[in-house]
Structure 1
Amino acid sequence: MYFAALLARTEDGWEASDTELDDVETLSDLADLAREAAPDEDTVLVLIEQEDGWFGVVRVDGEDDPRIYVSDAAAAARSSYGEILLTDELLGREPGNDGPDLDALDLDGTEDGGPGDEADEDVAADTGSADSVLHGPVGDALVLDDLGVSEKDLRSLSGDALGTIAEVLGAAEVLETVR
């Protein structure tokens, strides 16, 4: 089960909206979606989670490049939404040298990649995709540091990570309205 939301910081606090990522194919598309939600080029956070699997935070500040944190790259690599976040730069790879073709996995956003999902495990085993990506967090662990979530805190999150982040930001109530 996936959940994705946008949190836009405004003069009046945080505003949340759930978002469909079905039409988002690239990180650039995701950043554009976030920028559309930001009045006056304010900070926008895109929060994505797969229940008990992984979570990702994309921070867009105006026209700056998006900053990304993914809690478990290998788990995210088995997800179409995670694939959007796992850029060559984030994974420390040369462009075009990304190992197995993750598009060949035919990810549609409905897979859960969890234990017991033999069909997805067989595909991952055939392509080696789970082994080609780092197990564990990747990206900018300081992405929320100035907002009150330290690197240590971000790396230690599990369970309802997005709820915890929203609570620290003072946005728990607005996030819950879109869950």
Structure 2
Amino acid sequence: MYFAALLARTHDGWEASDTELDDVETLADLADLAREAASDDETVIVFIEQEGAWFGLLRVEGEEDPRVFVSNAARAARSSYGEILTKEVLGGDEDDPAEDLDALDLDGTEDGEPEPESADGDGDDPEGAAPAGPVGDARILTDLGITEPELLALRDDALGEIAEALGAGEVLEAVR
């Protein structure tokens, strides 16, 4: 089960709306959906969550390229909406979105830190598999008051905690 919502920053504060993702097939579709919720070049954040398994954020501002963060790429890559987000972050060709994954350093670890456990839990990272950890722009919300370490530490009610930190907790709960 998915939960998806849009938070649009306006001059009056944040406005939230739940959103249907039925017609979303690409990241461009998702970004267009977000831009439609903005009245100018305002910040819009798309929240997507799948039953506590993973969450993703897409941030658009005007016509700038969207910014993406996914809390657990391996779990997200197994779902249609998560795959849209992870494909953007991991790159590669259409047939192998995880191509050249080792060169990307997107697992959130520093040099010398242990790699996150793989999706199958045995510590091996099958060739071409998405990492079992966060990928994307972990600084996606820094200018809004949520630091990279704070974002990376979120687990259970991540979207609620993010909305609270942005001052939009009540508006998000209204659409949940």
TM-score calculated relative to the size of structure 2: 0.81
Residues 96, 128 of structure 2: 8 Å contact kept: no
State the match for 1:26 in structure 2.
26
Q: Any residues of structure 2 matched to 1:123-162 within 5 Å, and which?
A: 132-162=129-159
Compute the displacement of 1:61 (Å).
Answer: 0.6
SS in 1 for 2:60: strand
- Structure 1 stretches lacking a partner, 5+ long: 101-127
Compute the displacement of 1:63 (Å).
Answer: 0.3
SS in 2 for 1:81: helix
Q: Tell me the distance in 2 between the aligned counterparts of 1:30 and 1:11.
A: 23
Q: Read off the aligned partner of 1:94 and give its amino acid letter.
A: G
The structure whose RCO (Cα within 8 Å, separation 6+) is larger is 1
Compute the displacement of 1:2 (Å).
Answer: 1.1
RMSD of aligned Cα (Å): 1.9
Greater share of helix: 1
Q: Tell me the distance in 2 between the aligned counterparts of 1:139 and 1:130.
A: 20
Percent of paired sites with the same residue: 67
Aligned residue-pair number: 150
Q: Tell me the distance in 2 between the aligned counterparts of 1:16 and 1:156.
A: 24
- Structure 2 stretches lacking a partner, 5+ long: 99-124
Residues 77, 130 of structure 1: 8 Å contact kept: no
Q: Any residues of structure 2 matched to 1:57-68 within 5 Å, and which?
A: 57-68=57-68
Q: Read off the aligned partner of 2:96 and give its amino acid letter.
A: D
Q: Tell me the distance in 2 between the aligned counterparts of 1:82 and 1:99.
A: 12
Q: Does 1:84 align with 2:106?
A: no
TM-score calculated relative to the size of structure 1: 0.79
Q: Tell me the distance in 1 between the aligned counterparts of 2:126 and 2:18.
A: 29
Compute the displacement of 1:52 (Å).
Answer: 1.8
